[in-house]
């Protein structure tokens, strides 16, 4: 597909890299000559210097031939204007990054009037991901599929877990009361495996399990994991993510203390979030954190602008015994280092936004076939979880899975049929309209027919 990308900042560049890896034709528009030079030197893209909201610039970039226009500049208003002009000039689909909370209530109207097919809010999406992590304090990552009916949870296996040290095929015999979940993927020593029945989970493995939310909760209780609800949360930094996160978790009964060092910003947040304990001060000051009861917190969320401050304060919170520590980090070169420091829950607004847009792009790659509805990158991008909706007439419909050929390094993880979640075995089959979740080590799969065949 031909994709026009306006704005080559952190999000734009990450998105461009992912799109290029999937063989899309990418054109980047930006006004910063140095940014364009770096993109041209390191990426296989066409670059155009100019204002993406200028009609002539868009025409020069071939907007009339663009399958998708993505506006990801630092300005919400410019992004919306780019989409409006781009759609009028012939772009088939448009995506805008819209971050300001003030646009939330009128977003549906804005999208309709301005011809925006998809609006992406990186901060709100990041806050939503953090709110999921607070549900299971021991989890490193939680993904949701089929409108919340299926959850996929990542955890680090310990010697005390009931499933550690036993072949997967023997678990039902050894642990007859163990709730039935799918063991979707395991990372061990940087190597990722989609496990079979002969696989044995070992201590320190990073394991993904999938099932409906109730079964997942019962599973972790059975294996001895503490699933108590988080009550007291400390948030470092008063940016938009903190605002959205507070709005999400306070109504659930969590008590939030938010530390912001800029007086004007702290005063604004105190007014906008009356139920939050907003504190004025430097959150990197260990004495201040101790005075405000860091040791008594159930969770600590580091959301400063600087990744280094998030990592250092997160490490300090971890040493003080905080059960759940989440840090924001956008630096990809830190990805392999952070787990070695003991920080498991790391979120990247840049990656979350890129993945969200990539899901939309994939869903429009083919005009036919059973297309991707959702896509998530797991285990640092080594595994993909894809959600499809099965279509009537596809050759795999009604045939037991054991009689189908499944692509190597892929597995049919979960089937959702009329609201019922099925962890499939060989005798199960797929019906028209089923939500089908696939786990695969391959990249770029766009059609369910590429995964399972007669």
Whether 66 and 77 have beta carbons less than 8 Å apart is answered as no
Q: What is the 3-state secondary structure (H, E, C) of the chain?
A: CEEEEECCCHHHHHHHHHHHHCCCEEEEEECCHHHHHHHHHHCCCEEEECCCCCHHHHHHCCHHHCCEEEECCCCHHHHHHHHHHHHHCCCCEEEEECCCHHHCCCHHHHHHHHCCCEEECHHHHHHHHHHHHCCCCCCCEEEEEHHHCEEEEEEECCCCCCCCCCEHHHHHHHCCCCCCCEEEEEEECCEEECCCCCCECCCCCEEEEEECHHHHHHHHHHCCCCCCCCCEEEEECCCHHHHHHHHHHHHHCCEEEEEECCHHHHHHHHHHCCCCEEEECCCCCHHHHHHCCHHHCCEEEECCCCHHHHHHHHHHHHHCCCCEEEEECCCHHHCCHHHHCCCCEEECHHHHHHHHHHHHHHHCCCCCCCEEEEEEEECCCCEEEEEEECCCCCCCCCCCHHHCEECCCEEEEEEEECCEEECCCCCCCCCCCCEEEEEECCCCCCEHHHCEEC
| Residue owning tokens 């059975």 | 222
Query: With the CA atoms of 339, 345, 349 and 350 taken in that order, what torsion angle do they form, in degrees rounded to the nearest 10?
Result: 20
Please give the pLDDT value at position 367. 47
Measured distance CA(52)–CA(150) in Å, rounded: 39
Q: What separation in angstroms does the CA of 32 have from each of 8, 51, 103, 250?
A: 9, 10, 27, 41
- 1 Cβ contact list (under 8 Å, min separation 6): 24, 25, 67, 68, 361, 364, 365
Cβ count near 199 (within 10 Å):
16
Please give the pLDDT value at position 196. 87
Measured distance CA(128)–CA(144) in Å, rounded: 11
- Residue 411's closest CA among 193, 215, 229, 177? 193
Question: Which parts of the chain sit beneath pLDDT 70?
Answer: 226-228, 332-336, 339-340, 365-372
The two structure tokens encoding residue 53: 């909201």
What residue ranges define each of the domains in the chain, with the CATH number in brackets? 2-120 (3.40.50.720), 126-130+228-347 (3.40.50.720), 352-453 (3.30.70.1450)
Please give the pLDDT value at position 334. 67
Measured distance CA(333)–CA(349) in Å, rounded: 15
Query: With the CA atoms of 234, 236, 241 and 242 taken in that order, what torsion angle do they form, in degrees rounded to the nearest 10?
Result: 50
Q: What is the pLDDT of residues 344-364, one digit of tens each?
A: 788 888 888 888 888 788 777
Please give the pLDDT value at position 179. 92
Please give the pLDDT value at position 360. 83
By DSSP bridging, strand 435-440 and strand 299-302 are: unpaired
């Amino acid at each position: 597909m031909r994709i026009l990308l306006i704005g080559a900042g952190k999000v734009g560049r990450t998105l461009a890299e992912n799109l290029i890896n999937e063989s899309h034709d990418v054109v980047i528009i930006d006004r910063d000559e140095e940014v364009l030079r770096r993109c041209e030197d390191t990426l296989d893209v066409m670059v155009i210097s100019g204002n993406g909201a200028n009609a002539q610039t868009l025409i020069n970039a071939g907007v009339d031939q663009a399958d998708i226009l993505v506006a990801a500049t630092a300005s919400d208003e410019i992004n919306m204007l780019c989409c409006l002009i781009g759609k009028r000039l012939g772009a088939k689909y448009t995506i805008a990054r819209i971050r300001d909370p003030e646009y939330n209530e009128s977003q549906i109207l804005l999208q309709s009037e301005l011809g925006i097919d998809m609006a992406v809010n990186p901060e709100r999406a990041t806050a939503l991901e953090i709110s999921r992590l607070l549900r299971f304090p021991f989890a490193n990552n939680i993904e949701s599929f089929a409108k919340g009916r299926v959850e996929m949870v990542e955890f680090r296996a310990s010697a005390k877990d009931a499933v550690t040290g036993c072949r997967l095929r023997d678990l039902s015999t050894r642990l007859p009361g163990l709730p039935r979940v799918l063991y979707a993927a395991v990372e061990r020593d940087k190597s990722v495996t989609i496990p079979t029945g002969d696989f044995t989970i070992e201590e320190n493995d990073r394991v993904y399990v999938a099932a409906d939310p109730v079964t997942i909760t019962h599973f972790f209780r059975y294996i001895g994991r503490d699933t108590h609800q988080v009550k007291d949360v400390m948030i470092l930094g008063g940016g938009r993510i903190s605002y959205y996160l507070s709005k999400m978790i306070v109504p659930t009964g969590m008590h939030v203390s938010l530390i912001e060092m800029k007086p004007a910003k702290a005063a604004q947040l105190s007014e906008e979030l009356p139920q939050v304990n907003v504190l004025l001060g430097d959150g990197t000051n260990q004495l201040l954190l101790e005075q405000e009861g860091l040791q008594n917190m159930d969770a600590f969320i580091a959301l400063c602008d600087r990744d280094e401050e998030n990592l250092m304060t997160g490490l300090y919170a971890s040493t003080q015994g905080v059960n759940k520590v989440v840090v924001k980090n956008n630096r990809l070169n830190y990805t392999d280092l952070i787990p070695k420091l003991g920080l498991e829950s790391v979120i990247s607004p840049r990656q979350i936004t890129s993945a969200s847009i990539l899901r939309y792009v994939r869903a429009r790659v083919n005009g036919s076939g059973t297309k991707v509805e959702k896509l998530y990158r797991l285990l640092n991008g080594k595994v993909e979880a894809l959600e499809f909706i099965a279509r009537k007439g596809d050759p795999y419909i009604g045939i037991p899975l054991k009689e189908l050929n499944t692509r190597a390094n892929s597995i049919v993880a979960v089937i959702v049929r009329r609201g019922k979640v099925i962890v499939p075995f060989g005798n199960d089959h797929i019906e028209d309209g089923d939500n089908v979740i696939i786990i695969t080590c391959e990249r770029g799969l766009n059609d369910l027919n590429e995964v399972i065949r007669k």
